[in-house]
A and B are shown apart, each in its own frame.
Chain A
Amino acid sequence: MDDITKTGAQDTAVAADGRRSLGTGPGRLLVTLYGIFTVAAASRSLYQLIAQFHVAPLAYTLSAVSAVVYGFITFSLVRGGEGARRAALVCCALELLGVLGVGSWTLLDPSAFPDATVWSDYGMGYLFIPVFLPVTGLLWLRRSRTA
């Protein structure tokens, strides 16, 4: 009860309708951003893998991995429910590790990356949204546990 009073009236309404709760309220904004990043990362990596794979195979493969992670989180948020929430939580943690890991890797060993990935330099080419997105996602998913 204490949790619910803390999060305010709007989230109480969200918590009330259970299964759909992950993709409503603030979750709607999160779903939209994850959806946009899924499309952006998927189309970018598909194009690069097909048209210019030999230029930077590692970078393009990592972009494809990020697209899969984004896609899975989008799907989980839309689907809702406790199982999807846990799966999304794991994926958001994975995504955060990915951004930090690949971000550091591109800075420490630029020669391994002739071309950029979605997560290069901690997502600088995407206004650093790739760093903020998993943090926001983790906070939102933790809070939705009351649902």
Chain B
Amino acid sequence: MIDALTIAVGATALALAAWCGFAAYRDEPTKDWHFIGMAVVSLLGIVQLVVGIVQLAGGHSPAKGTALFLAYLIGAAACVPGTGFMSLSERTRWGSATVAAGAVVLAVLEVRLFDIWGGGNG
């Protein structure tokens, strides 16, 4: 369950990064459709956070430690909403570039999360 979610969040984050990166390349600020995309990725991140906590409460223990796992889960959930708000007050291409950077960081966090959970084994 959590492995599938990790892959889904990572893939959508990369798509968001490409989309917002393209907007930055075209010298455009983030628009409504971008914010809908961010909302989708953010929602997946929050679902992942909840599922992760439920799994921990159910007695699962991540391969590389619970504290590390939780810290990465929270960071992953905060990444895209945080950069989204930054782009709200920066209505230039650099706002789009900021969201793209946040989404890339999220994708990297997902790779680490997969590793910390002990991906493939549960």
Contact = CB atoms under 8 A, between A and B. Distances in A.
B95 A28 contact: yes
Interface in A36-50: 36, 39-40, 43, 47
Given A10-B92, A28-B86, A43 B71 contact: yes
Given A10-B92, A24-B90, A25-B92, A32 B71 contact: no
Contact of B101 (A27, A29, A39): A29
Given A39-B75, A43-B71, A32 B102 contact: yes
Interface string B94-106: 1101100110010
Interface residues of B, number: 18
B108 A28 contact: no
Contacts of B68: 47
Query: Is the contact region of chain B dominated by helix, strand, or loop, or is it mixed?
Result: helix
B83 A32 contact: yes
Interface in B60-97: 67-68, 71, 75, 79, 82-83, 86, 90, 92, 94-95, 97
Contacts, number: 37
Nearest to A44: B71
Contact of A32 (B67, B86, B108): B86
Given A36-B105, A47-B67, A29 B94 contact: yes
A108 interface: no
Q: Which of A10, A26, A32 has the most CB of B within 10 A?
A: A32
Contact of A26 (B67, B82, B94): B94
Interface string A37-73: 0011001000100010000000000000000000000
A147 interface: no
A10 B91 CA distance: 11
B75 A32 contact: no
A10 B93 CA distance: 10
Interface of A: 10, 24-29, 31-33, 36, 39-40, 43, 47, 51, 127
14 contacts: A24-B94, A25-B92, A29-B94, A29-B97, A29-B101, A31-B86, A32-B83, A32-B102, A33-B101, A36-B105, A47-B67, A47-B71, A51-B67, A127-B108
